[in-house]
Amino acid sequence: MNIAILSRDPKLYSTQRLKKAGEKRGHNVEIIDHMKCVLYLEKKSPMVLYNGRKLDYFDAIIPRIGASVTVYGAAVVRQFEMMKVFTAVESQALIRSRDKFRSLQILSRAGIGLPKTMFMDYTKDTEGIVEAVGGAPVIIKLLEGTQGLGVVLAENKKAAQSVIDAFHGLKTRIMVQEFVKESKGADIRAFIVNGEVVGAMKRQAKEGEFRSNLHRGGKATLIKLTSLEKQTAITAAKKMGLGVAGVDMLPSARGPLIIEVNSSPGLEGIEGATKVDIAGKIIQYLEKNAMKKKIQKDKINA
pLDDT tens digits, one per residue of 44-56: 899 999 999 999 9
CA distance 268 to 13: 6
pLDDT of the residue at 207: 65
Cα–Cα distance between 101 and 122 in angstroms, integer?
A: 16
Is residue 105 assigned to a domain?
no
What's the rounded mean pLDDT across residues 106-131? 87
Q: Which of 67, 96, 125 is where one domain is finished?
A: 96
Residue 253 has pLDDT above 60, yes or no: yes
Residues 49 and 92 in one domain: yes
Contact 74, 65 (CB under 8 A): yes
274 is a domain residue:
yes
36: containing domain: 2-96
CATH number at residue 137: 3.30.1490.20
The model's pTM: 0.88
Please report whether residue 102 resides in a domain: no
Between residues 225 and 160, the one the model is more confident about: 225
Do β-strands 37-40 and 53-54 pair in parallel, antiparallel, or remain unpaired?
A: unpaired
Residue closest to 175 by CA, chosen among 259, 137, 119? 119
Residue 30 belongs to domain with CATH number: 3.40.50.20
What is the per-residue pLDDT across 278-292, written as a single tens digit (0 to 9) for each?
999 999 999 999 877
Q: How would residue 148 be classed by pLDDT, with cut points 50, 70 and 90?
A: low
Rounded Cα–Cα distance for residues 162 and 154 (Å)? 9
What are 182-229's pLDDT values in tens digits? Answer: 887 789 999 999 999 999 999 887 665 555 555 555 688 999 999 999
Choose the final residue of a domain: 131, 150, 179.
Answer: 179
Q: Is residue 301 part of a domain?
A: no
Q: What is the mean pLDDT of the chain?
A: 89
Select the more confidently predicted residue: 295 or 198.
198
